[in-house]
């Protein structure tokens, strides 16, 4: 064999090797996202960014509705203003998105804009909180949305109240109530739970109630006001001080205010919270929050599963309630907290 032929053979073998290698590497590559025009367009009208819960919820939607999964997601945050959500939904209708996902700020006020979406033939999926339609309008509320997924907020309130009954028994309670945004399902359900407890217990007194709008800053301000107005009982009197805080961020604010005033959360004042985010669970272990009722924000995959059923021509369930639990020191471990999704 001449030197030239040897070289030519060597080159051919190298070429073959290269071709094999590139062919072998194809299956390991990530599937290319679908072309832009094939993506399913989803418009998500989000409440805002008021809490850790809300941030986790937005993140969950972003991951579930990625381009790799075949979606183009537009999120419009409403800064907790219902009228911003109405504008957002109208924009989605104008853009002719395939699906509208609505996380309603308040329950009321959706008749007109959801009728417009219905008229445009765009399915609406409601997530987290619920809507309510004024019965005087004679509109079939259920015809305005395709399906809903979220939490049973009334049950969450009842769970918190059952723990208060069990933990404090006949002792007199001095209750400070930090409410979420008034008119939101999360506020309404959790407040109804407490009101039922108050009506059933003569030894429970409501010392203060106001909306902390689900934010740390407002929660802190309200507890500063409670302290300035001397609304907490002297712990030495035998009366138990309880802060019933309708979300974790307001509880963080309450803890700041109590500690700044030299009070000990978990000893002078017991905090009952909602959401059960990772930071709050740490605060249970350190004793500053006594009880936390879970409200799960990881709705992205749930909403996507509903939309996928619709795309396959199936009829998803009208209502899907998420299974939730509650935490105290007794059922918490460090590893549970580390593995928490939010």
Query: Which among 213, 184, 211, 209 is positioned nearest to 198, based on CA atoms?
Result: 209
Query: Residue 76 carries which DSSP code?
Result: E
Site string for ligand AHR, 53-72 (x = CB under 6 A): xx------------------
Q: How far is the CB of 48 from ligand AHR (least distance, A)?
A: 8
| Segment interacting with ligand AHR (CB under 6 A) among 45-53, 71-79, 224-232, 256-264 | 45-53
Distance from C-alpha of 258 to C-alpha of 215, rounded to nearest angstrom: 16
Does position 51 bind ligand AHR by CB under 6 A?
yes
Query: Which among 340, 202, 182, 212 is positioned nearest to 273, based on CA atoms?
Result: 212
Does position 326 bind ligand AHR by CB under 6 A?
no
Of the two residues 50 and 77, which places its CB atom closer to ligand AHR in the complex? 50
Of the two residues 219 and 265, which places its CB atom closer to ligand AHR in the complex? 219
Strands (E), the chain: 40-46, 71-77, 99-102, 124-128, 147-150, 173-179, 204-211, 240-245, 269-275, 291-294, 319-321, 326-327
| Segment interacting with ligand AHR (CB under 6 A) among 5-13, 47-55, 169-177, 196-204 | 47-55
Of the two residues 186 and 306, which places its CB atom closer to ligand AHR in the complex? 186
Q: How far is the CB of 228 from ligand AHR (least distance, A)?
A: 26
Query: Which among 152, 108, 102 is positioned nearest to 122, based on CA atoms?
Result: 102
Out of 46, 60, 72, 129, point to the residue binding ligand AHR (CB under 6 A).
Answer: 129
Site string for ligand AHR, 281-320 (x = CB under 6 A): --------------x-------------------------
The pair phi, psi for residue 272, each rounded to 5°, is -110, 130
Angle between helices 52-64 and 248-260 (to 10 degrees): 150
Tokens of 311: 């795309």
Of the two residues 72 and 129, which places its CB atom closer to ligand AHR in the complex? 129
Q: How far is the CB of 195 from ligand AHR (least distance, A)?
A: 18
> What is the sign of the dihedral through the CA atoms of 77, 211, 270 and 227?
positive
Q: How far is the CB of 232 from ligand AHR (least distance, A)?
A: 24
214-243 residues in contact with ligand AHR (CB under 6 A) are 214
Out of 77, 106, 158, 275, point to the residue binding ligand AHR (CB under 6 A).
Answer: 275
| Residue listed under structure tokens 């992205």 | 300
Distance from C-alpha of 333 to C-alpha of 342, rounded to nearest angstrom: 16
Binding site for ligand AHR (CB under 6 A): 50-51, 53-54, 128-129, 186, 214, 247, 274-275, 295
């Amino acid at each position: 064999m001449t030197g030239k032929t040897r070289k030519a053979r060597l080159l051919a073998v190298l070429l073959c090797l290269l071709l094999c290698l590139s062919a072998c590497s194809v299956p390991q590559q990530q599937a290319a996202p679908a072309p832009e025009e094939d993506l399913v367009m989803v418009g998500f009208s989000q409440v805002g960014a008021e809490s850790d819960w809300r941030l986790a919820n937005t993140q969950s939607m972003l991951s579930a509705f990625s381009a790799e999964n075949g979606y183009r997601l537009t999120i419009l945050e409403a800064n907790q203003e219902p009228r911003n959500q109405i504008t957002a939904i109208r924009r989605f209708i104008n853009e002719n998105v395939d699906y509208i996902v609505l996380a309603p700020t308040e329950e009321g006020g959706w008749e007109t804009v959801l009728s417009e979406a219905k008229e445009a033939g765009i399915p609406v999926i409601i997530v987290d909180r619920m809507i309510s339609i004024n019965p005087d309008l004679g509109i079939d509320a259920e015809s305005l949305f395709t399906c809903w997924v979220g939490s049973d907020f009334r049950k969450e309130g009842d769970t918190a109240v059952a723990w208060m009954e069990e933990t404090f028994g006949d002792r007199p309670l001095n209750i400070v109530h930090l409410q979420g945004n008034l008119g939101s399902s999360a506020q309404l359900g959790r407040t109804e739970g407490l009101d039922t407890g108050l009506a059933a217990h003569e030894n429970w007194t409501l010392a203060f109630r106001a909306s902390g709008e689900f934010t740390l800053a407002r929660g802190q301000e309200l507890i500063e006001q409670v302290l300035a107005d001397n609304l907490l009982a002297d712990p030495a009197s035998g009366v138990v001080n309880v802060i019933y805080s309708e979300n974790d961020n307001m509880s963080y604010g309450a803890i700041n205010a109590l500690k700044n005033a030299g009070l000990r959360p978990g000893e002078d004042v017991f905090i009952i919270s909602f959401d059960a985010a990772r930071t709050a669970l740490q605060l249970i272990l350190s004793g500053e929050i006594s009880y936390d009722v879970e409200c799960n924000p990881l709705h992205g995959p749930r909403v996507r599963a509903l939309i996928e059923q619709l795309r396959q021509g199936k009829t998803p369930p009208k209502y899907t309630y998420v299974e939730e639990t509650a935490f105290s020191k007794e059922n918490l471990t460090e590893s549970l907290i580390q593995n928490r999704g939010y």
